Amino acid sequence: MKYEKVLHKNLETPGYTGSLADYERLGGYQAIRKVFKEYAPAQLTDLVKRSSLRGRGGAGFPTGMKWDFLPKDPAITRYLCCNADESEPGTFKDRQLIERDPHQLIEGMVLAAYAIGARVGYIYVRGEFVHGARVLERALAEARRAGYLGKNILKSGMDIDIHLHVGAGAYICGEETALLESIEGKRGLPRTKPPFPATHGLYGKPTVINNVETLSNLPHIVNRGAEWFTSIGSPPKSPGMRIFSVSGHVNRPGNYEVPMGIPLRELIYEHAGGVRGDKKIKAIIPGGASAAFLTEGSLDVKLDFESIAQVGSMLGSGGVTVMDEDTCMVWAALNLMEFFAHETCGKCSPCREGSSWLVQMMRRIEHGHGRMEDLDQLVRICGGIAGKTVCAFGDAEVAPILSTLKHWRSEYEYHIKEKKCMVGNRGGSLVTIGGH
Amino acid sequence: MNPDTKKIQFSEKAQQEIQEILTHYPDKRSALLPVLNLAQAEFGHIGEDVMVMVANLLDLTPPKVYEVVTFYTLLNEKPVGKYLIQLCRTLQCALAGSENILGHLQQKLGIRVGETTQDGLFTLRTVECLASCGTAPAMQINGAFYESLTREKLDRILDDLKRGAQPTLKPMGQN
């Protein structure tokens, strides 16, 4: 199926450079004009609530509701932060939105800042996005010169400015309170909640943190209305378009903007061109490394928040990774466990200690030195981490092991009994066990 | 000269940039990460002398700077080669054969992960997901992305750098 593009419309237009002139030519910055003329801030929040837009960063929290949690007293300073710390393995949609259509994001941020009454916004962009940061700096300067940012925007009396804050390599800074700590010049250690950022955020002030894709949706909701938005995707709870990043063993990996709720099978076989070499699918991660692995049996699940949750995983960041029948599930789970062990911030003992225990045990099994009792021990350790930490990282890091153990326990047992891999393929490179 | 007593200072241009950065925040400490990123661009790495200087500049105690430098993986406490190669090792790149690319890199450069070539040209690191999974396997050299890597492409990239070409920043899928 072909769908009308929304967030990708500009960047898929031939010759589109992402400059201010190009963005304006295709209708850019009309949403700000419309809002300043027709909407009070509370009315804009109401519009976004009626659209049922949900966060595109991972948690899927309703955006308008998040804004509404802020205290109503306009005398209190408040902040807007854009989470552009895209680091969830399998996810690369925000990078493209930043690099190719930065003004769409900036217009979205001006709208969000207007709704919540913030005069300052920060874009927290991960340090690896060196090119993306340059694109954003240039776009912010253009927007300032054109009067879309700064003092008295479009003579509305509104002062809104946006600054870029470049990170320096830390997955955890995508967790919203760690992101705030990082902007404050500290280690990115998540805060204990409550209090939530809506009341005690950046510098202790009410703060909204929204993802790049979430904010990029706002100009379109303003221009076309809440009814239009809820008419696409999977209403009432998961309306709108969604950008899925497809990676792994598919013929055409890439970012695909489709209505929320299309079947997983359609995304993989129609949009991403099916599996390389016409092999069978063994496993799919539907929402970034923090989401549980699914089997081929889940291919007909709808790609919306509720349907994915019903099959025991999560839509998360929209990072869909496909693994073919030759992929070793122990190897795949170990790889992601190593990721989490590297990225744990170290604040909570269960996560800090547990992640390194899990890596050690997984390495032992992968390298042919595992014991059968390790399998129950893995589950016990995972149980000691999930739900026992300050942030959701603890729940995320146990997903690869628990889900692969659930669906492919025989592969673990084969590794332990036969001291070798059942399929032998480690992502295209044949390596004998214990070889590294 | 003893490096401990050498007075280290930001360039004029960097000092101006720092003044601008400070206007972005209500709190001086918030400028720490931007200033450290700037320091690394100026001095190549962030040694103790730089940490102390930055601490003085932002009215922080040196440990407050040290704890941040040691937390963020892109900040180098020790010198690195002229070209810092950061190859993604996470699952999505591994599914596309990053283990082969790593093997080839190590062989070609004659070093292992974490090491620097004797001529000081290349440092090799593996890193976690770079948000380049649709164009895997991927790496960065001095912040520039190189994607959809093959052995042949890698040979070309390294040869170009040895001949003096500079890594260029390009959008996803174009390098």
Instruction: Label each residue of chain A as H, E or C.
Output: CCCCCCCCCCCCCCCCCCCHHHHHHCCCCHHHHHHHHHCCHHHHHHHHHHHCCECCCCCCCEHHHHHHCCCCCCCCCCEEEEEECCCCCCCCHHHHHHHHCHHHHHHHHHHHHHHHCCCEEEEEECCCCHHHHHHHHHHHHHHHHCCCCECCHHHCCCCEEEEEEECCCCHHHHCHHHHHHHHCCCCCCCCCCCCCCCCCCHHHCCEEEEEHHHHHHHHHHHHHCHHHHHCCEECCCEECEEEEEEEECECCCEEEEEECCCEHHHHHHHHCCCEHHHCCEEEEECCCCCCCCEEHHHCCCECCHHHHHHCCCCCCCCEEEEEECCECHHHHHHHHHHHHHHHCCCCCHHHHHHHHHHHHHHHHHHCCCCCCHHHHHHHHHHHHHCCCCCCCHHHHHCHHHHHHHHHHHHHHHHHHHHCCCCCCEECCEECCCCCC
pLDDT at B4 over 80: no
**Residue A187 to residue B67, Cβ atoms within 8 A:** yes
Q: Do domains B12-69 and B83-162 have the same CATH topology?
A: no
**Residue A253 to residue B136, Cβ atoms within 8 A:** yes
Is A321 part of the contact surface with chain B (CB cutoff 8 Å)?
Answer: yes
Q: What is the mean pLDDT of residues B138-165?
A: 97
pLDDT at A429 over 50: no
For B128, which of A122, A339, A429 is closest by C-beta distance?
Answer: A339
Q: What is the mean pLDDT of residues A41-46?
A: 98
- What tens digit of pLDDT does each residue of A189-232 get? 999 999 999 999 999 999 999 999 999 999 999 999 999 999 99
* A8 is a domain residue: no
Same domain, A274 and A373: no
Least confident of A28-42, A87-101, A235-249, B5-19: B5-19
Residue B146, classed as helix, strand or coil, is strand
Q: What is the mean pLDDT of residues A297-304?
A: 97
Q: Considering only alpha carbons, which residue of chain B is nearest residue A162?
A: B24
* A374 is a domain residue: yes
* A11 is a domain residue: no
Cis peptide leading into residue B26 (ω within 30°): no
What pTM did the predictor assign? Answer: 0.96
Query: Which CATH number fits the domain that encloses residue A362?
Result: 1.20.1440.230
For A130, which of B27, B92, B143 is closest by C-beta distance?
Answer: B143
DSSP conformational letter for B167? P
Same domain, A285 and A425: no
Which residues on A lie below 8 Å from B80 (Cβ)?
none
Which residues on B lie below 8 Å from A96 (Cβ)?
171-172
**Residue A131 to residue B145, Cβ atoms within 8 A:** yes
Same domain, A74 and A164: yes
Query: Which CATH number fits the domain that encloses residue A275?
Result: 3.10.20.600
Pairing mode, strands B122-127 and B83-88: parallel
The whole-angstrom distance between A182's CA and the closest CA on chain B is 8
Higher pLDDT, A425 or A316: A316
Least confident of A271-280, A391-400, A423-432, B14-23: A423-432
* A436 is a domain residue: no
Same domain, A102 and A195: yes
Same domain, A320 and A342: no
Same domain, A310 and A345: no
Which residues on B lie below 8 Å from A91 (Cβ)?
129, 131, 133
**Residue B67 to residue A431, Cβ atoms within 8 A:** no
**Residue B75 to residue A254, Cβ atoms within 8 A:** no
**Residue B31 to residue A323, Cβ atoms within 8 A:** no
Burial of A119: CB neighbours in 10 Å, binned 0-12, 13-18, 19+ = middle
- Alpha-carbon distance B84 to B68, whole Å? 21
Provide the chain B residues 105-144 that lie in CB contact (below 8 A) with chain A: 127-136, 140, 143-144
pLDDT at A237 over 60: yes
Is B72 part of the contact surface with chain A (CB cutoff 8 Å)?
Answer: yes
Provide the chain A residues 145-184 that lie in CB contact (below 8 A) with chain B: 163, 165-171, 182-184
Q: Indicate the length of chain B as a whole number.
A: 175
Higher pLDDT, A435 or B126: B126
Could you state, in order of their start, the residue ranges of all structural domains in chain B? 12-69, 83-162
Which residues on A lie below 8 Å from B36 (Cβ)?
168
Provide the chain A residues 68-107 that lie in CB contact (below 8 A) with chain B: 86-92, 94-96, 99-100
* A337 is a domain residue: yes
Which residues on A lie below 8 Å from B33 (Cβ)?
165-168, 182-183, 185
Same domain, A44 and A183: yes
Crossing angle of helices A93-100 and A102-116, in 10° steps, is 100
Is B55 part of the contact surface with chain A (CB cutoff 8 Å)?
Answer: no
Q: Considering only alpha carbons, which residue of chain A is nearest residue B71?
A: A187
**Residue B134 to residue A255, Cβ atoms within 8 A:** yes
Percent of chain A with pLDDT over 90: 95
Confidence at A425, pLDDT banded by 50, 70, 90: low
Domain count, chain A: 3
Which residues on B lie below 8 Å from A167 (Cβ)?
33, 72, 74
**Residue A90 to residue B27, Cβ atoms within 8 A:** no
Which residues on A lie below 8 Å from B147 (Cβ)?
none
* A3 is a domain residue: no
The whole-angstrom distance between B1's CA and the closest CA on chain A is 31
* Domain final residue, candidates A206, A231, A256: A231
The CATH class, in words, for B83-162 is alpha beta
Same domain, A342 and A384: yes
- What tens digit of pLDDT does each residue of A334-364 get? 999 999 999 999 999 999 999 999 999 999 9
pLDDT at A432 over 70: no
What was the ipTM of the complex prediction?
0.95
> From the candidates A79, A181, A186, which should be mutated to test the interface with B, based on the most B CB atoms within 10 A?
A186
Cα→Cα distances A244→A13, A90, A253, A265, Å: 19, 10, 10, 13
pLDDT for the residue numbered B6: 61
Assigned token pair, A50: 């009626």
CATH of domain B12-69: 1.10.10
For A428, which of B25, B37, B96 is closest by C-beta distance?
Answer: B96
Is B153 part of the contact surface with chain A (CB cutoff 8 Å)?
Answer: no
Mention every residue, 6+ apart, whose C-beta is less than 8 A from residue B145.
A131, B130, B132, B138, B139, B169, B170, B172, B175
Nearest CA to A233 among A302, A320, A318? A302
- Alpha-carbon distance B93 to B126, whole Å? 11
Pairing mode, strands A120-125 and A79-84: parallel
- Alpha-carbon distance A67 to B92, whole Å? 34
Is B59 part of the contact surface with chain A (CB cutoff 8 Å)?
Answer: no
- What tens digit of pLDDT does each residue of A369-380 get? 999 999 999 999
Residue B144, classed as helix, strand or coil, is strand
- Alpha-carbon distance B2 to B7, whole Å? 10
Same domain, A134 and A213: yes
**Residue A170 to residue B71, Cβ atoms within 8 A:** yes
Same domain, A126 and A220: yes
Is B29 part of the contact surface with chain A (CB cutoff 8 Å)?
Answer: yes
For A247, which of B74, B133, B145 is closest by C-beta distance?
Answer: B133
Which residues on A lie below 8 Å from B37 (Cβ)?
127, 166, 168
Q: Are A52 and A239 in contact (CB under 8 A)?
A: yes
- Alpha-carbon distance A126 to A170, whole Å? 8
DSSP-assigned states of every residue in B36-98 = HHHHHHHHSS--HHHHHHHHHHTT--HHHHHHHHTT-TTS-SS---SEEEEEE-SHHHHHTTH
The strand pairing partners of A322, in sequence order, are A248, A284
pLDDT for the residue numbered B7: 79
Query: Which CATH number fits the domain that encloses residue A200?
Result: 3.40.50.11540
Pairing mode, strands A425-426 and A429-430: antiparallel
Same domain, A250 and A174: no
Q: What is the mean pLDDT of residues A233-245?
A: 96
- What tens digit of pLDDT does each residue of A126-182 get? 999 999 999 999 999 999 999 999 999 999 999 999 999 999 999 999 999 999 999
The whole-angstrom distance between A399's CA and the closest CA on chain B is 14
The strand pairing partners of B144, in sequence order, are B141
The whole-angstrom distance between B89's CA and the closest CA on chain A is 8
Same domain, A319 and A381: no
Residue type, A402: L
* Domain final residue, candidates A169, A199, A231: A231
Between CA A167 and CA A66, with CA A20 as vertex, the angle to 5 degrees is 50
The C-alpha torsion from A172 through A316 and A407 to B89, rounded to 10°, is -40
pLDDT at A426 over 90: no
* A72 is a domain residue: yes
**Mean pLDDT of chain A, nearest integer:** 95
* A5 is a domain residue: no
* Domain final residue, candidates A179, A201, A231: A231
Per the structure, the complete domain to which residue A35 belongs is given by 20-231
